[in-house]
Structure 1
Amino acid sequence: MPNDVPAGCTVYGRSGMVVAGHPLAALAGWRALDLGGSVADAAVAAAAVLGVALPHATTVGGDLFALVHEAATGRTHVLNASGPAPAAARAERFRDGVPQDGIASLVVPGAVAGLKALHERFGLRSWAEALAPAVAAAEDGVPVSGALAAAIVAYRPLIERDAALAALLLPGGRPLAEGTLLRQPALAATLAAVAADGPAAFYEGRPAHSLGALSAERGGLITAGDLAAFRPEWVEPLSAPYLGLEVRTAPPNSYGVALLLQLQRLAADAGPQGGPGSVEHFARLIPVGRDALAAAAPYLADPAFGGPDVRELLARGAAKGASGWPSGVPGGTAVVSVADAAGNGVVLIESIFTPWGSGVHDPATGILFNNRVRGFAADPAHPNVVAPGKRPAHTLSPALALEDGRLRFLLTTPGGPGQTLTLAQVLVNRIEHGLPLAAAVAQPRWSLDLAGRLLVEETVPDAVVTGLAQRGLHAEKAGVITPYFGSAELIERLPDGVLAGVPDRRRDAAAIGA
């Protein structure tokens, strides 16, 4: 029997491990592995279920990034399935700022094509088998989790603006309660068509034409032609050393470079710095994280549209006291990590951006769409300014780490622009302080909000907050569920080959391994 324990504990296994942002997703991924599938099969199955079970965070109307590590070759492949702005999305249309939600806030959804690209290159089982758990979950219903129920209540005004979304989530005018079933038959039919006919059923079939008609009716920019033209992209990772590890992540338009910049600086001054959670610990990490995000800001854009070379930034490193700030908001995001006994691994992160994305739900197809146009900068001189066919900056920052050429860590978390801050803190706790992975994940965190204000979790002692203030670091306490702190869903490969999976207690998550 697989070893399945509550979130927050460490799950150990030898043959495989799946950690995901929802128990049903972890189960779907584990079953794919157990039936002889690859880590890619497991990641696709889990990710598809996340798009059904956590619609406030991710759907097939969103985007994804994934890293795939091949043990046999030592190569790490980066899948960029973030969608571009519509062809009609010209900067002059947004003189008053980019839209925050609604029909004009959509980019082309990249998730379906991304899942298929991952499966085509690395899958062993059939595409239909990979999507079957998601089809069943949408048809039969998924019990509403506490996090989903809270998101319905918190974002009720946005939900009520769309009649179809309100009918789904506020039946009879009342929010779906925790533990009740969320059934999505229209989405089940869409997923079944994609399972049978591949991405063409999505990008050239009913979903594309229905969205195009909905966009035209409501004054949006996206068309069926925008969807038909989309292709995901395989790219090379960025990497940097950190205390015996080689950490790899996605290049821009991902924020991943900010993680590498932090680790470079931390490795350069890795002497005794006070224990985890101490004033000295936070006082060391906070300036490094701030400087890294500021230094990365001009590089967080679609490289196909020019701009500075991010590898030059890595060679130079983040200067102390760097100025600037990346665009971005805390969002709806879900993650999957999968590893097998042979040393292969996948980290996948998917999102519709902010909770409930655009708030636009197509009743004909059951799809809730992203609001990723919000990821563009408003400044026309910024490399990340909106343009036709351009991908916006993405907070999605999957990473993994090798030791002596072999996979050691799979690293991913939701948390908007705080993702790289969370992953850096976990690695410092694990590598520099020697904490077991679960303890490294459980330690109190710091983060930054959109205005750059310093936040610490409410579990940080008052004496530490006071000590930070005495050093000029004025922090505000925030609840553990604050999205900026993330929820790291990690796997570590131990020296004897045992896989340790840790689902973060901060959000819905589960790990299954055997």
Structure 2
Amino acid sequence: MTLATESSRGLVTAPHALAADVGARLLACGANAIEAAIAVSAALSVVYPHMTGLGGDAFWLISDGRESSVRGLAAAGQAGRAYHADIFRARGLSQIPFRGALSAMIVPGMLRGWEAAHSFSAATWGGTMGWSELLTPAYELAAGGFPLSGNQDRTLRHYLCALEGDVEFCAQYLPQGRLPVAGETFRQPALARTFGRLLDEGVGSFYSGDLAEEMVTSLQAKGSLLQLADLESCLAEWVTPLQLPFAGGTVFNLPPPSQGMASLMIAGIMERLGLADADPLGAELVHGAVAATRRVFPWRDRVVHDPRRASNHSLNDLLFGEFLDQQADEIRSEMVGVANRWQSALGDTTWFAVADGAGRVVSVIQSLYHEFGSGVVAGSSGVLWNNRGCAFTLEPKDPRGLLPGMRPFHTLNPALFGRDGAIQMAYGSMGGDGQPQTQAALLFRHLCHGLDPATAVDAPRWLLGRTWGDPVTALRLESRYEQRVRERLERWGHTLQVVPAYSDLMGHAGILRALPNGNWIGASDPRSDGGVAGPDSS
């Protein structure tokens, strides 16, 4: 079980301990929460390459510690201007492929997010650190190597058959033509060279100039239709976060194309069902969460898409108290059956959070979408490209239908909780459909049921949804749930699948929590390779 870590000068929780340590070292050198978060983000791109990388996207929530200051940053790229549905139909495809060059169709937005956050840090928080200070730790990890994580080892072995068709992918992730094993030193010299260029030229060189041209030329040679102009036009966007009253405070999350509204709706319905008083490890909490999830996900599928496309539903209406009251009432009266269907959202991500000594805090989530993204590395850059574009459909009237320049649906949604005017908690998880459900588990178990952060993160979890290779939308429970809990859920009509005690299917979650004495306490997930670290953590 993961132990909680406390610090008075700031704290980092991340799904890889080396990345958490990078953030802690930056905080010790005077970095603010945004600056340390950029360094953590870059480090995760090196040490957790199966989940995230320079070729992916990111979403941020940023606060100076006051609830009134929370702002969102959507660093999500768009589909290339040459991409439209007919390209795929002409090739006899009914959907966008998960892997290969045709799936490498979305411009990575993550580094544009670094740029926007860095500028905000300098202008508003007095940040002084440059790209050399922020990116050198990631460069050193890529060049010098690090012990390969167990999670990367397992993931690569599981998906190797779908990934080994790209020569540069094999050169980077199968050194000397073999599968590396957990614990051995893993180096990424091509990625290190790219980080060296970003150190020297600034992160804008990812989108214009020689590096950008080289990446695009390589992707085009492999069959991608991305153009240099697509990279040059990519920008991060500051957005107004969504809010929901909860537990005497406010939960913050992100608007579309993020699924943040689903996380808020599930939490709101569960609170109205009285689950704040439920057993944190009992059947009632799972049963109510599943009922709320079945009600919310079909709504999510109707409204979460690029907000530049018209919607027949208002997000504010869906988050309005009376609407959530109605959902809870219908669940109580058994008007909601188990047959509600939704489009399952797969994919894996990395969530992390940073708080600094001044109480400023960021909650960040970033991803390549599926494990190892498209499986396509952009030539000699070492940059593994995302496959986020396969979240589009090829149906012209579908609001998630592929159009040039549009952003796809994103599972990514970081969260914050505030009360009495102050941000008190950053939390989140990876895991597609599981993200909103795990966020609910953390909220209720910690804020409502009184479990400390480490116990709340460690506790057995549930997941309603599909997983890779299994088309059944089943309710999965970790095996640590007691037999009586399983029996009650089965009596209530749930089809259960029991998974290992600490299953990756349940995501890699974490919490940072402000304490009354001004310190922060945090926990990372024992299901990950994570850690919590601060300048004076104990």
TM-score w.r.t. length of structure 2: 0.90
Match of 1:4 in 2: none
Match of 2:319 in 1: 314
Does residue 329 in structure 1 map to residue 350 in structure 2?
no
Aligned residue for 1:298, secondary structure, equals helix
The CA distance in 1 between the partners of 2:275 and 2:111, in whole Å, is 45
Aligned residue for 2:473, secondary structure, equals coil
| Cα pair 1:481 1:507 within 8 Å, conserved | no
After superposition, residues 11-90 of structure 1 pair within 5 angstroms as: 11-71=5-65, 74-90=68-84
The CA distance in 1 between the partners of 2:373 and 2:275, in whole Å, is 43
Does residue 126 in structure 1 map to residue 130 in structure 2?
yes
Distance 1:327 1:204, change over 3 A: farther
Which amino acid letter does the alignment assign opposite residue 229 of structure 2?
A: G
Match of 1:102 in 2: 100
Instruction: Give the unaligned 5+ runs of structure 2.
Output: 467-471
The CA distance in 2 between the partners of 1:379 and 1:237, in whole Å, is 29
| Cα pair 1:248 1:400 within 8 Å, conserved | yes
Aligned residue for 1:74, secondary structure, equals helix
Match for 2:304 among 295, 300, 304? 300
Match for 1:495 among 507, 510, 516? 516
Which amino acid letter does the alignment assign opposite residue 315 of structure 2?
A: V
| Cα pair 1:60 1:367 within 8 Å, conserved | yes
- Tell me by how many angstroms 1:151 deviates: 1.5
Match of 1:453 in 2: 474
Match for 1:463 among 484, 487, 502? 484
| Cα pair 1:135 1:192 within 8 Å, conserved | yes
CA RMSD of aligned residues (A): 1.8
Does residue 91 in structure 1 map to residue 85 in structure 2?
yes
Which amino acid letter does the alignment assign opposite residue 10 of structure 1?
A: A
Which amino acid letter does the alignment assign opposite residue 186 of structure 1?
A: A
| Cα pair 1:65 1:78 within 8 Å, conserved | yes
Which amino acid letter does the alignment assign opposite residue 79 of structure 1?
A: L
- Tell me by how many angstroms 1:324 deviates: 4.2
The CA distance in 1 between the partners of 2:496 and 2:392, in whole Å, is 28
- Tell me by how many angstroms 1:347 deviates: 0.8
The CA distance in 2 between the partners of 1:273 and 1:73, in whole Å, is 26
CA deviations 1:204-234 (Å, max 9, x no partner) are 1233222322232222221111111111100
After superposition, residues 139-150 of structure 1 pair within 5 angstroms as: 139-150=143-154
| Cα pair 1:86 1:222 within 8 Å, conserved | yes
- Tell me by how many angstroms 1:375 deviates: 1.6
CA deviations 1:334-362 (Å, max 9, x no partner) are 12211123321001111101111000013
Match for 1:381 among 392, 397, 407? 397
- Tell me by how many angstroms 1:189 deviates: 1.5
Aligned residue for 1:401, secondary structure, equals strand
Match for 2:252 among 248, 255, 260? 248
Match for 1:486 among 490, 504, 507? 507
**Matched pairs, number:** 507
Match of 1:111 in 2: 110
The CA distance in 1 between the partners of 2:24 and 2:277, in whole Å, is 40
The CA distance in 1 between the partners of 2:51 and 2:451, in whole Å, is 30
Which amino acid letter does the alignment assign opposite residue 284 of structure 2?
A: E
Q: Which moved more, 1:231-240 or 1:163-172?
A: 163-172
Match of 2:261 in 1: 257
Match of 2:469 in 1: none
| Cα pair 1:273 1:281 within 8 Å, conserved | no
| Cα pair 1:298 1:326 within 8 Å, conserved | no
Q: Which moved more, 1:314-323 or 1:239-248?
A: 314-323
The CA distance in 1 between the partners of 2:191 and 2:76, in whole Å, is 21
Match of 1:3 in 2: none
- Tell me by how many angstroms 1:483 deviates: 4.0
Percent identical = 33
| Cα pair 2:56 2:366 within 8 Å, conserved | yes
Which amino acid letter does the alignment assign opposite residue 264 of structure 2?
A: L
Instruction: Give the unaligned 5+ runs of structure 1.
Output: 1-6
Match for 1:220 among 211, 217, 224? 224
CA deviations 1:285-318 (Å, max 9, x no partner) are 2111221222221111010122233222212337
The CA distance in 1 between the partners of 2:87 and 2:480, in whole Å, is 45
The CA distance in 1 between the partners of 2:157 and 2:275, in whole Å, is 46
| Cα pair 2:504 2:527 within 8 Å, conserved | no
Does residue 472 in structure 1 map to residue 493 in structure 2?
yes
Match for 1:135 among 126, 139, 148? 139
| Cα pair 1:273 1:284 within 8 Å, conserved | no
The CA distance in 1 between the partners of 2:305 and 2:342, in whole Å, is 13
The CA distance in 1 between the partners of 2:488 and 2:275, in whole Å, is 20
Which amino acid letter does the alignment assign opposite residue 237 of structure 2?
A: E
| Cα pair 1:62 1:369 within 8 Å, conserved | yes
CA deviations 1:111-145 (Å, max 9, x no partner) are 11111211111151122211110111111112111
The CA distance in 2 between the partners of 1:365 and 1:384, in whole Å, is 31
The CA distance in 2 between the partners of 1:199 and 1:168, in whole Å, is 22
| Cα pair 1:144 1:181 within 8 Å, conserved | yes
Q: Which moved more, 1:377-386 or 1:51-60?
A: 377-386
Aligned residue for 2:396, secondary structure, equals coil
- Tell me by how many angstroms 1:282 deviates: 1.6
Match for 2:180 among 165, 176, 179? 176
Distance 1:267 1:449, change over 3 A: closer
Which amino acid letter does the alignment assign opposite residue 68 of structure 2?
A: G
The CA distance in 1 between the partners of 2:196 and 2:315, in whole Å, is 40
Does residue 208 in structure 1 map to residue 190 in structure 2?
no
Aligned residue for 2:268, secondary structure, equals helix
The CA distance in 2 between the partners of 1:313 and 1:350, in whole Å, is 26
